[in-house]
Amino acid sequence: MIGYLRYSERLNLSQINIYLLLAGFAASVILRVGIGGREVAYSWVAGILFAACLVLLSIASGTRTAINYRVVVVGFASGLLLLIPALLTSSHQAHPLGNYATWAAIVSVVAMAEEFFLRGALFNAVKKAHSDNLAIIIAATAFALLHVPLYGWHVVPLDFFVGLYLGVVRSFGGSWVTPGIAHTVADLAGWWLV
Amino acid sequence: MSFLKKYFLFFVSVTGIVLVSFFSSKIVPLYDGVGFPDEPYRYVKTPAGVQNANLPPSPAQTYVSLTNGTNQSDFTLATKEQGPQASIYVYSLALSSQSAAQAIVKLEPKAPDTNKPKIGAIAGNIYNLSAAPDKGNVAFKSTAHESRGYVDLRLPQNAGVNAVMMYRSGTNQAWRNLGTTKVGNDIYEANIEGVGDYALVPAKVASANHDYKILALVIMGVLVIVLAVILALLRQQDKKSKKHKSKTK
């Protein structure tokens, strides 16, 4: 391990961080799909475990959390804009309210964990090694691909653009918490709009 | 990032979201990956050993106006379950009639009967697609079936991981396979062949060795932990080397 660490000193540490984070992300997705199986999109256990993996990787990479008034306000405002797809494609079918609280809690945890990792750890690593733009694009690509095992390839275009948008929001807000709030607001509103 | 670049990416992303949402009818506008749970499958006739949903499956119907002998706009129809068990999307100009001004298009669930597909047993209900005109006849045009629209059926829980959609034009006709695409977690789609019966038959998939699956999952879990440890160690090492460099300066 020490030898590896010394060797890594000679390499670009930020670049190595990106590879490690992407490998961890891939392993987390595989773990989630493996546990959730055919019902992965509806498996709350798989979702929570996936979130735990992302949080672990983000903390290990030293991702910091900044919360202030601006972060929260921009986050909420950006979340409202993310409701456009739901409003445009809505079937307006009401969902039973019975398990909303549990669903909302899990959805919030998963959404925040995804943002902590994608627009936090991964974004910071790519930004440090390359640029803000590349960080936004790589995080958006990972975000789009993450949903393929759950919903199929047809969600890639929308999720890629949503990922780009969340990346820009991250850049504006200055913290992963901003897209985290936007993402959570959009998801929670989906109960009534989808 | 410069101010202009920020706004350019913002514009691109918002435009992309609006355009993709506007032009697609099959998007799941959720970004977290935890979907609304489906209710248990509702059977016309519940198979032995399967939990009964205690609710009958819902039929669906819609009135379609026909102008110049055809429907001038797209229309959709879905059954009312949480996670519709059957739905159709019909393109404009897909229906054809010489004299009708209106048609009732219906999707009705039926129990599997004695006329079984050769490739396996039907999972769930058969869904009968019909179109009844106010006068004369109405049918789907005999043009390329891609231009008529598509049918989506939901596979019941625990019915397998893959399925093929089957079609027959009448109760006594033979079932035949349709080109089937999995478009969601458990939704299967095929082009509309015409009025008649549609059903899903689970595809035979070699069962994976359960022990190997658990082992693979454990390896993935350990891999995540190992990667997290390496990330943390690298960060520590980076901090140390920065301290060392600042001291030597």
C-beta atoms of A187 and B32 within 8 A: yes
Q: Which burial class, exposed, middle or buried, applies to A17 when counting CB atoms under 10 A from its CB (0-12, 13-18, 19+)?
A: buried
- What does the pLDDT read at residue B43? 93
- CB-based contact (8 Å) between A3 and chain B? no
Closest CA to B57 of B125, B150, B153: B125
Three-state secondary-structure class, residue B242:
helix
Can you name the residues that pair with B96 across neighbouring β-strands?
B139
pLDDT of residue B22 exceeding 80, the answer is no
C-beta atoms of A85 and B29 within 8 A: yes
pLDDT per position as a tens digit, B176-227: 999 888 876 788 999 999 999 999 999 865 555 566 777 778 888 888 888 8
- What does the pLDDT read at residue B147? 76
Show which of residues 132-191 on chain A sit within 8 Å of chain B, judged by CB atoms.
132-133, 136, 143, 146-147, 150-152, 154-155, 157-162, 164-165, 167-168, 171-172, 183-184, 186-187, 190-191
Q: Note if the pTM is more than 0.80.
A: no
DSSP state of A43: -
Q: In the predicted model, what is the mean pLDDT of residues A15-37?
A: 88
**Which ipTM did the prediction report?**
0.76
pLDDT of residue B137 exceeding 90, the answer is no
Closest CA to B126 of B201, B226, B235, B238: B201
**What is the DSSP track for B179-212?**
--EE-SSSEEEEE--SSEEEEEEEPP-PPPPHHH
Kindly list the residues from chain A whose CB atom is less than 8 angstroms away from the CB atom of residue B183.
152, 154
pLDDT of residue B50 exceeding 90, the answer is no
Kindly list the residues from chain B whose CB atom is less than 8 angstroms away from the CB atom of residue A79.
none
Chain A residue at shortest CA distance from B36: A42
pLDDT range class, residue B35, cuts 50, 70, 90: low
pLDDT per position as a tens digit, A141-188: 999 998 888 777 878 888 899 999 999 999 888 899 999 999 999 888
- The alpha carbon of residue A176 is apart from the nearest alpha carbon of chain B, in Å, by 15
Three-state secondary-structure class, residue B72:
coil
CA distances from B159 to A126, A129, B70, B187 (A): 43, 47, 38, 12
C-beta atoms of B31 and A147 within 8 A: yes
- What does the pLDDT read at residue B158? 77
